[in-house]
Amino acid sequence: MSEINLARQATLQQRLEPRVLRVLSWAFTGFLVLYILIPVLITLVMSFNNAAMIRFPITDWSVRWYADFFGSTQWMDALINSIVIALGTTAISTTAGILAAWAFERYQIPFRTFWYMLIMMPLFMPGVVLGLGVAIAFGGVQLGSYSFYGSRELVMIAHSLWAMPLVFMLMEATFRTVDYRVVEASYDLGGRPIGSFFEIVVPMVSTGIISSALFAFVISLNEFVMALFLTDRDTQTLPVLMWLSLRSAGTPRLAVASVILALTVFVCMSVIMLWYARQLRKVAR
């Protein structure tokens, strides 16, 4: 085949291909938007259904299931449990994760890779395995009258098995972006390590800290397999209650619970976005 022929063929291909690809990419985008939004929107719509049955088409709209949710002590208790456990998980995993990440970034640690893998390992373990393990190991353990099993604290720690490695990983990446000379400058001017950490390092990585804390919170709030293994009737979280009631019968109350769960995440994110925007404005004033 001569070079001219080749060139002509290429131009034809070059003219046709982009158009076909553009059409395909739009079609794909449409498919994806539908795929991701279907379960979200369907839940939102269903939560305003007046009927007691999940069935389409919806003929009667009301907020009665919201009233029902907020009126039910069982569901409200579950929501409160979820939030308390998520806050505890956030506190535990951010503290442990940030400290470990700082150590990994700034100090020489013998067998670094080994410790790194060890800390990261639980993040990749299925929830069912972690839940089962913690249940077997701490199911029967009691400290005086305090029993680990069924306590919120145990769930917090179990959730931290996912949340802490995630915080650790995100913070390690964040610390790596810090110009360490700035910290040295602080030492140099007489700042002590602990004081410098809080006054210099933490403000420089505040965005990373806030976003990893948010991830920890969301993971714990949404998790229900470990919680299923580790909670009893009094400490049941909202997702566990939803899972159990889905197994018996689905009602629009479940849709309301889904919406509330998602709203909690959404509100947290908005608060953080606002805070972040204010920080930005402050520095760029």
Residues 35-54, interacting with other proteins (CB under 8 A) = 35-40, 42-43, 46, 54
Q: Does 91 bind other proteins (CB under 8 A)?
A: no
Alpha helices per DSSP H over 177-205: 180-188, 193-196, 202-204
Q: What would the x/- binding string for other proteins be over residues 59 to 78, using CB under 8 A?
A: --------------------
Q: Which of 51, 84, 200, 210 binds other proteins (CB under 8 A)?
A: 200
Q: Which of 73, 124, 143, 146 binds other proteins (CB under 8 A)?
A: 124
Query: Are 156 and 95 a contacting pair, CB within 8 Å?
Result: no
154-157 contacts at long range (C-beta below 8 A, 24 or more positions apart): 154/230, 155/85, 155/226, 155/227, 155/230, 155/231, 155/235, 155/237, 156/85, 156/88, 156/89, 156/92, 156/220, 157/92
Residues between 103 and 122 that touch other proteins (CB under 8 A)? 103-104, 106-109, 112-113, 115-116, 118-122
Q: How far is the CB of 153 from other proteins (least distance, A)?
A: 11
Q: Does 1 bind other proteins (CB under 8 A)?
A: no
Q: Which stretch binds other proteins (CB under 8 A): 60-68, 73-81, 196-204, 270-278?
A: 196-204
Q: Which stretch binds other proteins (CB under 8 A): 62-70, 72-80, 185-193, 270-278?
A: 185-193
Q: How far is the CB of 156 from other proteins (least distance, A)?
A: 10
Q: Which of 221, 230, 235, 236 binds other proteins (CB under 8 A)?
A: 221
Query: End-to-end distance of the chain based on CA atoms, in angstroms?
Result: 65
Q: How far is the CB of 250 from other proteins (least distance, A)?
A: 6
Q: Which of 78, 79, 155, 164 binds other proteins (CB under 8 A)?
A: 164
Number of amino acids touching other proteins (CB under 8 A): 114
Q: Which stretch binds other proteins (CB under 8 A): 13-21, 66-74, 270-278?
A: 13-21
Closest CA to 186 of 159, 194, 265: 194
DSSP 121-169: GGGGS-HHHHHHHHHHHHTT-EETTEESTB-HHHHHHHHHHHHHHHHHH
212 burial class (0-12, 13-18, 19+ CB within 10 angstroms)?
buried
Q: Which of 23, 62, 141, 187 binds other proteins (CB under 8 A)?
A: 187
Q: Does 8 bind other proteins (CB under 8 A)?
A: no
Residues between 125 and 144 that touch other proteins (CB under 8 A)? 125-130, 132-138
Give Cβ neighbours of residue 113 (< 8 Å, ≥ 6 apart). Answer: none
Q: Which of 52, 55, 61, 270 binds other proteins (CB under 8 A)?
A: 55
**String of b and e for 242-281 (b: at least 16 CB within 10 Å)?**
bbebeeeeebbbbbbbbbbbeebeeebeeeeeeeeeeeee
